[in-house]
Amino acid sequence: MHSIRVSDSRMHFSAAHFVASAGACENLHGHNYTVEVYIEGPLNEDGMVLDFRDVKTRAIQICRSLDHRVLLPGESNVIKIRDLDDTVEVRVGEKRYILPRTDCLVLPLAATTAELLAEFIAGKIEIASSHLLRVCVAESEGSVGCFESKK
């Protein structure tokens, strides 16, 4: 089986988030995330698993959609999010944030961890069902969460 690894200096995004669990909540903070995509599968008639350019273009588009946002988990059991006209109210424990709506991105995730962000990004990359897809999201060097799935 053959594989490709796609990374590019444009496959990154800067975003704020916090992770909360029952009884604990991080402070709001940010990361300069980087993304890598690995795809394994059979070669096509051109001798490629997939064209690097196509994968890179899609990954860059996804990163741009996440860039310079506060990432919020829309499916969290402990973080409550409410739209208030042009703002978003976020409540977790004793904390209450009011943020501009345009600065926020509510994702269909239980938490905004690197692992779940990798799964979210993987879900936005369309590949053939015969391929294995692995997406890794690094919060910093040495702190990387990955998601792998056969499409």
Q: What is the per-residue pLDDT for 103?
A: 97
The token pair at 30 is 């940010």
Asked if 82 and 109 touch (Cβ cutoff 8 Å), the reply is no
User: How many helices and strands (H and E) does the chain possess?
Assistant: 2, 12
Query: Scanning the structure block, which residue is given the tokens 């946002």?
Result: 69
For 101, which DSSP code?
A: G
- In this prediction the pTM is 0.93
Q: Mean pLDDT over residues 69-91, rounded? A: 95
- Cα(3)–Cα(79) distance, rounded to whole angstroms? 39
Q: What is the per-residue pLDDT for 22?
A: 62
Q: Which domains does the chain have, with CATH numbers?
A: 2-150 (3.30.479.10)
Q: What is the per-residue pLDDT for 1?
A: 87
Helix, strand, coil share (%) of the chain residues, nearest 5 = 20, 45, 35
Question: Could you read off the pLDDT of 6-38 as tens digits, one per residue?
Answer: 999 999 999 999 988 766 778 899 999 999 999
> Is 144's pLDDT higher than 80?
yes
Q: Alpha helix (H) ranges present in 1-151?
A: 52-66, 114-124
Between 106 and 1, the higher pLDDT residue: 106
The token pair at 33 is 């995330």
Asked if 41 and 4 touch (Cβ cutoff 8 Å), the reply is no
